Amino acid sequence: MIRRLFVLFTIISTLCLPAQKGTMDIQYSARKIEVNEPLTVVYNLHNMEERGMLQSKWDPFVLVGGPSIGRSMNTSIVNGQMSQSQTNSYTVQLVSKKTGKLMVPKAYFQLSDGSRVETQSFEVEVVKEGTIPRQQTRQSNPFDPFSAFFDPFDPFANSGMGMPQRHAPQQSSPSNSGVYTDPSKIDLKKDIFAQIVVNKRKAYVGEQLTASVKIYTAVNSKGFEAEKLPNFNGFWSQDIRLPEPLEMKRETLGGKEYVSVEIKKILLFPTKPGLLEISPLKMRTVALVPVKVNRQQNQRQPRDLFDAIQMMMSQDMNVFGGVEYKEVPYSFSSGNTTIEVLPLPANAPKSFTGAVGKYSMNAFSNKKELKTDEALTYSIEIKGSGNLPLIENPKMEWDTDLEVYDPQLKENYNTSPNFNGSKTWNYTVIPHNPGTYSTPPFEFSYFNIENKRYETISSPATALTITGSPTARKSKGKTYAEYDYAKQKIKESTNYSPQSKISNISYFGWSLLPLILALGIAIVPKSTIKNERFASGKKVSEQVRRQMQLASTYLKNNDKKLFYNEITRAYWAYLGNRLRIEPSLLSKDNIADKLRQRNVPEETISEVISLIENAEMGLYTSYGAKGMQEQYHQSLEVLSELEKQLV
Amino acid sequence: MRYFIVYVLSLIAICPASAELHPAIKAYQNHDYSQAIQLWNQEIRKPNANKEEIYFQIGNNLFQSKDYSQAILFYEKALRENYNREDIKFNHKVARAKLGLPVENQVLFTDDWMKKIAYIFSTNQYQWMTIVLAWGLLFIIAFHRFRYIKKYSLIRNLLLGTLLTISTLYATRYYFRTTTVKGIVLKPALTGYTSISMDGSPKPLHQGEKVLITDRIGDKIQVLSESDSSLWISVQDIQVI
Least confident of B10-24, B84-98, B149-163: B10-24
> Cβ B50–A521 below 8 Å, yes or no?
no
Supply φ then ψ for residue A180, to 5 degrees: -95, 145
Chain A residues touching B51 at Cβ < 8 A? 499
Closest Cα to residue B107, out of B95, B115, B96, B97? B115
User: How many CB contacts within 8 angstroms connect chain A with chain B?
Assistant: 114
Report residue B185 CA to chain centroid gap.
18
Instruction: Give the per-residue pLDDT at A131.
Output: 67
Least confident of A12-21, A504-513, A524-533, B155-164: A12-21
> Cβ A500–B10 below 8 Å, yes or no?
yes
Task: For residue range A44-58, list pLDDT tens digits in order.
Answer: 877 777 777 776 677
- State the Cα–Cα distance between residues B67 and A226, nearest whole angstrom: 63
> Cβ A500–B14 below 8 Å, yes or no?
yes
Please, what sign has the CA dihedral across residues A41, A47, A48, A52?
positive
Q: A551, A570 in Cβ contact below 8 A?
A: yes
The total of other beta-carbon atoms located within 10 Å of residue A25's CB is 19
Q: Identify from A475, A476, A497 which residue to disrupt to test chain B contact, counting B C-beta atoms within 10 A and taking the largest count.
A: A497
Chain B residues touching A488 at Cβ < 8 A? 90, 94, 97
> A315: which residues sit within 8 A by CB, 6+ positions away?
A295, A297, A298
SS3 B50: coil
HEC string of A270-322 equals ECCCEEEEECCCEEEEEEEEEEECCCHHHHCCCCCHHHHHHHHHHHHHCCCCC
- State the Cα–Cα distance between residues A610 and A634, nearest whole angstrom: 11
Shortest CA gap A483–chain B (Å): 10
Q: What is the mean pLDDT of residues B207-233?
A: 82
Q: Chain A: residue nearest B11 by CA?
A: A500
The DSSP symbol for A585 reads G
Q: Chain B: residue nearest A532 by CA?
A: B148
Nearest CB partner across the interface for A500, out of B3, B28, B124: B124
Closest Cα to residue B120, out of B85, B76, B89, B87? B85
Instruction: Give the per-residue pLDDT at A364.
Output: 84
Closest Cα to residue A102, out of A33, A56, A7, A156? A33
Residue A108 has pLDDT above 70, yes or no: yes
Closest Cα to residue A442, out of A498, A361, A366? A361
The DSSP symbol for B193 reads B
SS3 A340: strand
> Cβ B53–A494 below 8 Å, yes or no?
no
Chain A residues touching B11 at Cβ < 8 A? 500
**Does the predicted TM-score (pTM) go above 0.80?**
no
Task: For residue range B90-144, list pLDDT tens digits in order.
Answer: 898 888 888 877 776 555 455 778 888 899 998 889 999 999 999 999 998 888 8
Residue B166 has pLDDT above 90, yes or no: yes
> B39: which residues sit within 8 A by CB, 6+ positions away?
B22, B23, B24, B27
Nearest CB partner across the interface for A494, out of B21, B93, B97: B21
> Cβ B141–A500 below 8 Å, yes or no?
no
Chain A residues touching B21 at Cβ < 8 A? 494-495
Supply φ then ψ for residue B160, to 5 degrees: -65, -45
Supply φ then ψ for residue A388, to 5 degrees: -50, -45
Task: Report the number of secondary-structure helices (H) and strands (E) in chain A.
Answer: 8, 32
Closest Cα to residue A15, out of A109, A90, A82? A109
> Cβ A511–B130 below 8 Å, yes or no?
yes
Q: What is the mean pLDDT of residues A562-585?
A: 83
**Confidence tier at A166 by pLDDT (50, 70, 90):** very low
- State the Cα–Cα distance between residues A380 and A528, nearest whole angstrom: 87
Q: Chain B: residue nearest A490 by CA?
A: B91
The total of other beta-carbon atoms located within 10 Å of residue A72's CB is 11
Please, what sign has the CA dihedral across residues B93, B94, B99, B101?
positive
- Which residues face A413 on adjacent strands? A421
> Cβ B54–A496 below 8 Å, yes or no?
yes
Chain A residues touching B50 at Cβ < 8 A? 496-499
In this structure, chain B runs to a length of: 241
Instruction: Give the per-residue pLDDT at B130.
Output: 93
Q: Identify from B121, B132, B141 which residue to disrupt to test chain A contact, counting A C-beta atoms within 10 A and taking the largest count.
A: B141
Q: Which residues 173-192 in chain B show a CB within 8 A of chain A?
A: none
Q: What is the mean pLDDT of residues A596-619?
A: 86
Q: A356, A204 in Cβ contact below 8 A?
A: yes
Q: Which range has the top average pLDDT, A13-17, A429-433, A538-542?
A: A429-433
Chain A residues touching B14 at Cβ < 8 A? 497-498, 500
CA distances from A323 to A30, A155, A161, A165, A176 (A): 18, 20, 11, 7, 15
The DSSP symbol for A493 reads -
Interface check B137 vs A, CB under 8 A? yes
The total of other beta-carbon atoms located within 10 Å of residue A500's CB is 14
Report residue B8 CA to chain centroid gap.
26
Interface check B51 vs A, CB under 8 A? yes
Nearest CB partner across the interface for A515, out of B54, B122, B137: B137
Residue A510 has pLDDT above 60, yes or no: yes
Shortest CA gap B89–chain A (Å): 10
Nearest CB partner across the interface for A496, out of B53, B91, B97: B53
Q: Chain A: residue nearest B102 by CA?
A: A485
> Cβ B127–A490 below 8 Å, yes or no?
no
Instruction: Give the per-residue pLDDT at A163.
Output: 36
- Which residues face A46 on adjacent strands? A23, A87
- Nearest 5°: the CA angle A164, A167, A171 is 95
The amino acid at A234 = G
Interface check B8 vs A, CB under 8 A? no
Instruction: Give the per-residue pLDDT at A115.
Output: 76
DSSP string, A99-150: -EEEEEPP-EEEETTS-EEEPPPEEEEEE-TTSS-----PSPPTT-TTGGG-
SS3 A510: helix
Q: What is the mean pLDDT of residues B193-214?
A: 77
Shortest CA gap A527–chain B (Å): 11
Question: Parallel, antiparallel, or unpaired for β A352-365 and A442-448?
Answer: parallel
> Cβ A510–B131 below 8 Å, yes or no?
yes
Interface check B196 vs A, CB under 8 A? no
Instruction: Give the per-residue pLDDT at B5.
Output: 60
Nearest CB partner across the interface for A499, out of B10, B63, B124: B124
- Which residues face A204 on adjacent strands? A342
- Which residues face A551 on adjacent strands? none
ipTM over 0.85 threshold = no
Residue A286 has pLDDT above 90, yes or no: no
Instruction: Give the per-residue pLDDT at B47.
Output: 84
**Confidence tier at B67 by pLDDT (50, 70, 90):** confident
Task: For residue range A609-646, list pLDDT tens digits in order.
Answer: 888 888 888 888 877 667 788 888 888 888 888 888 77
Instruction: Provide residues of A within 8 Å CB-CB of chain B.
Output: 484-486, 488-502, 506-507, 510-515, 517-518, 521-522, 524, 532
> A355: which residues sit within 8 A by CB, 6+ positions away?
A206, A382, A386, A387, A388, A390, A391, A444, A445, A446, A447
Q: Which helix (H) or strand (E) holds A597?
A: helix A588-597
The total of other beta-carbon atoms located within 10 Å of residue A399's CB is 17
